[in-house]
Copies of this chain bind each other. A is one copy, B any other.
Amino acid sequence: MTLPPLRIALAGLGTVGGGVARLLAGQERLLALRAGRPLQLVAVSARDRRKDRGFPLDSVAWFDDPVALATAPGIDVVVELIGGSEGPARRLVEAALAAGRPVISANKALIAHHGASLGRLAHEGGATLAYEAAVAGGIPIIKMLREGLVGNEVKRIYGILNGTCNYILTTMRESGREFAEVLAEAQKLGYAEADPAFDVDGIDAAHKLAILAALAFGCEVDLGHVHVEGIRHVGAQDIAYAEELGLRVKLIGLAQLIDGALEQRVGPCLVPLEAPIATVEGVFNAVVAEGDFVGTVMAEGRGAGAGPTASAVAADLVDLARGRALPPFALSAAQLRRLPARSLEARRGAYYLRLMVVDRPGVIADVAASLRDEDISMESMIQRGRAPGEVVSVVMTTHDTTEAAMRRALARIAALKAVVAEPRPIRIESF
């Protein structure tokens, strides 16, 4: 061992920070062997110095101000695990990169919001910014995309990027219960936050998708053009009808390049039961990349939690220790494209539609006419049971059409007297 240790500063000692500290201690020998030099935790910053965290911090310098880690002497790399797109996390990362100090971050919000400017800062400072842990936890998807599939033009990338939503949808399907009830249970079990909006409204998945899209298509991160829908409106009925149709509801983040424009969207989708991604259940995440030479590649694993996230941070640390750092988005900042956003209205595909209608003669005919007037052809229709004068569910699927036509048809349908709730379509994907 002739190389000096890589001296690591850890900002944030929550669940993930604790996991990283435990990994560095527990795998000390292994990491030194694999990195060719010791990985040494030399400094930390967290809110409460006195808290017992279950691992010793005696020999480690303590910083009350995380931002001070950016320039404090004796540090080779800062690992930012504070979280949040602004505040101390952003100040720390910007200050470190500006000072030419490498940064490893698990902060998807920060990278998604400021990836382009941070990439430029890193380039100017001659430092590196690595963030394997920011997307899909323990799945080494950043490495897979940036290095493993480097010989491919990626055509499309999509995935299950939020474990909380996937857990809720899986549990709804297995138990037949509704969203609100399953969410409450997930909160009790610690699978969902007290404020679940970030997860269930698709924001977290949008952050990860924007990062994946930038890497896959060699462009600047463009979070502002991700179309985002969450899973609050998915009903237990939708899930049950979908299974009957050979489909499964998943919250999918999808990005594709069509005619030079980038489509980015997060939302509930119906995927065929026989698609590999349909079998990714519970808290698991998965990412599918379609390349022109490799074809379809899927990676699946735990998308969150102390262990998986620490595993991803360790991969970045060892790359850095070995002198194998890359530009944050594979290309240098100046080479990244700015791609025009593709309107979701141009999306071509099939749709699932559940209508709540008053059961009386002529309703289906009116709905069918609304679709026909937009040149949309129905593929199947299910109306279970009869209840004249009552509100019943009518479920239908369409053949391929455009999102624009579908939206116009929905406006017509919503205006029908017999339709009592806003119709909410779910996109069907032919993965």
Q: Is the CB of A153 within 8 A of B297?
A: no
Q: Is the CB of A294 within 8 A of B308?
A: yes
Q: Is the CB of A31 within 8 A of B151?
A: yes
Chain B residue nearest in CB terms to A31: B151
How many chain A residues touch the partner (CB < 8 A)?
A: 56
Those of A290-345 within 8 Å (CB) of chain B: 291-302, 305, 307-308, 310-315, 317-319, 322, 324, 326, 330-331, 335
Best-surrounded residue of A140, A280, A324 (most CB of chain B within 10 A)? A140
**Cβ 8 A contact of A314, one of B143, B151, B312, B324:** B151
Q: Is the CB of B33 within 8 A of A138?
A: no
Q: Is the CB of A150 within 8 A of B318?
A: yes
> In whole angstroms, how far apart are the Cα atoms of A296 and B298 in the complex?
14
- Contacting residues, chain B, for A300 (C-beta < 8 A): 276, 297-300
Q: How many copies does the complex hold?
A: 2
A184 within 8 A of B: no
Chain B residue nearest in CB terms to A288: B300
- Contacting residues, chain B, for A148 (C-beta < 8 A): 132, 140, 143-144, 315
A372 within 8 A of B: no
Best-surrounded residue of A152, A326, A335 (most CB of chain B within 10 A)? A152
Q: Is the CB of B139 within 8 A of A297?
A: yes
User: In whole Å, how far is A370's beta carbon from the nearest beta carbon of chain B?
Assistant: 38
User: In whole Å, how far is A107's beta carbon from the nearest beta carbon of chain B?
Assistant: 19
Q: Is the CB of A27 within 8 A of B318?
A: no
Q: Is the CB of A302 within 8 A of B311?
A: no
A279 within 8 A of B: yes
Q: Is the CB of B147 within 8 A of A318?
A: yes
Between A and B, 14 residue pairs with Cβ closer than 8 Å are A33-B331, A34-B331, A138-B294, A144-B148, A147-B315, A150-B318, A151-B314, A151-B318, A276-B279, A293-B310, A294-B307, A294-B312, A295-B305, A300-B300
